[in-house]
Amino acid sequence: MFRSYLIVSLFLATSLIIGGCAKKTVPEVEKLPTPVAVETASEPPVTLTEIKPTPPTVEALLTLADMKLETVLFEYDSYILTTTSQQLLKSNVERLKKNPEVKIAVEGHCDERGSDEYNLALGERRALTTKNYLAELGVNPKYITIISYGEERPVSTGHNEMAWKQNRRVEFR
């Protein structure tokens, strides 16, 4: 009986050693074809020079600087234009209509309260609301771009209500 246990245990030990030392094969990775750009005969290929925006002319830059567009302020955690903001934008529109080809950037800003992501989104909503209002008043929206800086570019570095009020704004460049 002892002898049969010995034989069975030697057989199992040998099986484990041989099975444990088996050579592992690495499966071959299927090589995918390299993507190739396909050109159609009807459309010419787009080059990088066609994508780059044209820089504004010196006259356009001088005109925008001469216009002195008013900065618009917003309430805390809001992107709704107040009556005062609407009046300021109406005076800005009068200046813009005198030079309808001038391109402007509407920059949305926030105070330091709130997360970076939230403030970037809020700044974008403020800039978009301002752009839409300008378009309603007759400014061509194709000459308006929007950008949000969130809390990245404060006008006032204080940590009180007066500083925060100055930083909740939309500026024009």
Three-state helix/strand/coil letters over the chain: CHHHHHHHHHHHHHHHHHHHCCCCCCCCCCCCCCCCCCCCCCCCCCCHHHHCCCCCCHHHHHHHHHHCCCCEECCCCCCCCCHHHHHHHHHHHHHHHHCCCCCEEEEEECCCCCCHHHHHHHHHHHHHHHHHHHHHCCCCHHHEEEEEEECCCCCCCCCCHHHHHHHCEEEEC
Q: Residue 33 is encoded by which pair of tokens?
A: 């074809």
What is the average per-residue pLDDT within 74-79? 96
The CATH homologous superfamily for domain 54-172 is OmpA-like domain (3.30.1330.60)
Residue ranges covered by each domain of the chain: 54-172
pTM check: above 0.95: no
Mean pLDDT, the chain, rounded, equals: 79
Q: How far, CA to CA in Å, does 8 sit from each of 5, 11, 20, 132? A: 5, 5, 18, 85
Compute the distance between CA of residue 9 and CA of residue 79 in angstroms, rounded to an integer.
Answer: 79
Percent of the chain with pLDDT over 90: 58
Question: What does the pLDDT read at residue 99?
Answer: 86
More confident residue, 31 or 80: 80
The band of 89, judged by pLDDT with boundaries at 50, 70 and 90, is: very high
What is the average per-residue pLDDT within 138-154? 95
Q: Give tens-digit pLDDT for 27-54.
A: 554 444 434 444 444 444 444 444 445 5
Question: What does the pLDDT read at residue 120?
Answer: 96
Question: What does the pLDDT read at residue 156?
Answer: 93
Question: What does the pLDDT read at residue 47?
Answer: 44
Yes or no: say if 85 and 74 are a contact pair by the CB < 8 Å rule: yes
More confident residue, 10 or 73: 73
Contacts of residue 19, Cβ cutoff 8 Å, sequence gap at least 6 = none
What is the average per-residue pLDDT within 14-30? 56
Yes or no: say if 93 and 143 are a contact pair by the CB < 8 Å rule: no
